[in-house]
Amino acid sequence: MTGRFAIGIDYGTESGRVMLVSIETGEEAAWALIPYPNGVLESALPNGTALGHDWALQDPRDYIHVVEQGVPQVLKSSGVKAEQVVGIGTDFTACTMLPTLADGTPLCTLPEFASRPHAWVKLWKHHAAQPQADRINIIGRQRNEKALEMYNWAHSSEWFFAKALQIVEEDFAIYQKADKLIEAADWIVWQLTGEERRNECTAGYKDLWVKGSGFPSKEFFAALDPHMANVVAEKLATKFYPLGAKAGGLTASMAATTGLLEGTPVAVGHIDAHAGVPACGVVGPGVLVMIMGTSLCHMLMARERKIVEGVAGVVDGGIVPGYWGYEAGQAAVGDLYAWFFRAFGVNADEITAKAAALRPGQSGLVALDWWNGNRSVLMNADLSGLLVGATLSTTPQDIYRALIESTAFGTLTVIRAFEKEGIPIDRLMACGGLAEKSPLVMQIFADVTNRTIELPKSLQGSGLGAAMHGAVAGGAFTDIAAAASQMGGVSGQAYHPNPTAHVIYQQLYEQYLVLHDLFGRGGSDVMKKLRSIRASA
């Protein structure tokens, strides 16, 4: 195969996907999906050590495994030569973080720490640090900490310092032993290049780092825990690099393992959702990009910075340099559907066909889509799923459809929050696994939001975006906008709203909002109480 190519490596929740992409057309020459051998560790470590409620860990060796297995596969199956590869980009779930030695060795790979849960990678959906997140928010507000204002005073339990504080409090020896606490997004780039070059995007959205002013003060961290006062100076990098920057060249040993050339340019790390945006051809304001997978990320750019309820972060240049990048999200979307299929042993295709035959409103059900907490306007991991309206005639397809509808209502709630602050949303785009595989889900999202949803040329947006940044890092394009116009863009495929369905969904959405505010805004604390009963049971 002739031409020039870039490699994108998309690190997801269950697997890594390696893509070899033409930089002339954006088309995939080859791809390889490499499941993580240890998957997500939720109930126990590989050696059987039990984990608590809401834990979710990973094994960093699995990330290397993806490189070692996936890169040779795509080269081999495409016939592309190493010298045709202009650059490598990666993207990662976030905040997914780990403690390492000064040379990057993960603590969990040292035999003396292998049985210590806090030595392992904390995956984005590790939610056991909610008490720490709560305290960060209380103390942040008390101190009027500027970095927290950028995040609506709502540091998620998923973010870096909640996870770090949990280590400090629950296994201080691990914290002491760790020379670095680092995002997995940056750790993998370090392994590829031998250089610890941290990226602005992950740091901006997940680590309380603000361009120009850096991390919160030593006094803030001391207020969280005196042992943590010097966390920034002792364990974090101080310099951060913009998206598309070159982190370094591929090391000799990685070149040998993968079959690529030593010195092949590698871009700095990236968050998966954010990498998907330019892959859709979106490099400016007005287009809401929905990355729809296990969870749903809403990405939007604007010229101004406003305070929008539920926005997890607003980062200068966080998506594309020159614009404020807004990120909102829903904690469980595909994960919620998968829970339903798995828990009740229903066949996804059969139940989808039955659910598609239902009319909107026919089931009499409405759900709150908080099976994994609320990560959008309410920012509260203690919230939980609710289903109301069940009768003895309720069928599994009724429930499945209500779950899909609830996730669409969650997205509509995010859209309304942006509109309320005057940030325009002219178009919707969707990418990710659900956009590719679930026409019923997409149609319901179109009907609920009453908007056309366009799909990009490549439905593997994050991986393509990673490859595009690899191409920019390799000097094939002057900037990401140039790469996007060459490699990204829309497919022409779109879902159009059905006005009749939308009328019914408006009525159902009113009920969703009533429940949303009742359980989410303090009208009832039943969900919190149930969590605490469960924790003590």
Q: What are the residues binding a second copy (CB under 8 A)?
A: 42, 53, 332, 335-336, 339, 343-346, 359-366, 371-372, 384-396, 504, 507-508, 510-511, 514-515, 518-519, 524, 526-527, 529-531, 533-534, 536-537
Shortest approach of a second copy to residue 386 CB, angstroms?
4
Shortest approach of a second copy to residue 335 CB, angstroms?
6
**Residue number, 5 or 505, with CB nearest to a second copy:** 505
Shortest approach of a second copy to residue 287 CB, angstroms?
30
Helices 160-170 and 130-142: crossing angle in degrees, nearest 10, is: 110
**Residue number, 172 or 339, with CB nearest to a second copy:** 339
**Residue number, 261 or 440, with CB nearest to a second copy:** 440
Shortest approach of a second copy to residue 368 CB, angstroms?
8
Between CA 408 and CA 364 the distance in angstroms is 17
Shortest approach of a second copy to residue 412 CB, angstroms?
17
Between CA 34 and CA 189 the distance in angstroms is 18
Helices 396-420 and 439-449: crossing angle in degrees, nearest 10, is: 50
Shortest approach of a second copy to residue 419 CB, angstroms?
25
Compute φ and ψ for 207, nearest 5 degrees: -120, 15
- Long-range (24+ apart) CB contacts under 8 A made by 109-115 are 109/60, 109/61, 113/174, 113/177, 114/45, 114/47, 115/45, 115/47, 115/49
**Residue number, 373 or 456, with CB nearest to a second copy:** 373
b/e burial code for range 146-179 (CB count within 10 A of at least 16 → b): ebbebbbbbbbbbbbbbbbbbbbbbbeebbebbb
CA distances from 409 to 54, 174, 385 (A): 25, 42, 14
- CA 272 centroid distance within chain: 6
Shortest approach of a second copy to residue 390 CB, angstroms?
3
CA distances from 125 to 129, 335, 375, 441 (A): 10, 11, 11, 23
Whether omega before 95 lies within 30 degrees of 0, making that bond cis, reads yes
Shortest approach of a second copy to residue 525 CB, angstroms?
8
**Residue number, 252 or 390, with CB nearest to a second copy:** 390
Smallest CA-to-CA distance from 28 within 52, 51, 54, 8 is with 8
Q: Which two tokens stand for residue 428?
A: 């919707």
Q: Are 20 and 29 in contact (CB under 8 A)?
A: yes
**Residue number, 102 or 392, with CB nearest to a second copy:** 392
Shortest approach of a second copy to residue 40 CB, angstroms?
11
**Residue number, 301 or 378, with CB nearest to a second copy:** 378
Shortest approach of a second copy to residue 304 CB, angstroms?
36
6 forms bridges with which residues in the sheet?
21, 87
Q: How many CB atoms neighbour CB 77 within 10 A?
A: 13
Task: For 407-455, give the DSSP string.
Answer: HHHHHHHHHHHHHHTT----EEEEESHHHHH-HHHHHHHHHHHTS-EEE
**Residue number, 246 or 516, with CB nearest to a second copy:** 516
Q: Which two tokens stand for residue 211?
A: 């361009």
**Residue number, 1 or 390, with CB nearest to a second copy:** 390
**Residue number, 50 or 102, with CB nearest to a second copy:** 50
**Residue number, 102 or 533, with CB nearest to a second copy:** 533
**Residue number, 2 or 536, with CB nearest to a second copy:** 536
| 447: region left, alpha or beta (phi > 0 left; psi from -120 to 50 alpha) | alpha
Between CA 378 and CA 498 the distance in angstroms is 29
Shortest approach of a second copy to residue 413 CB, angstroms?
16
Q: Are 59 and 16 in contact (CB under 8 A)?
A: no
Shortest approach of a second copy to residue 387 CB, angstroms?
5
Q: Are 265 and 82 in contact (CB under 8 A)?
A: no
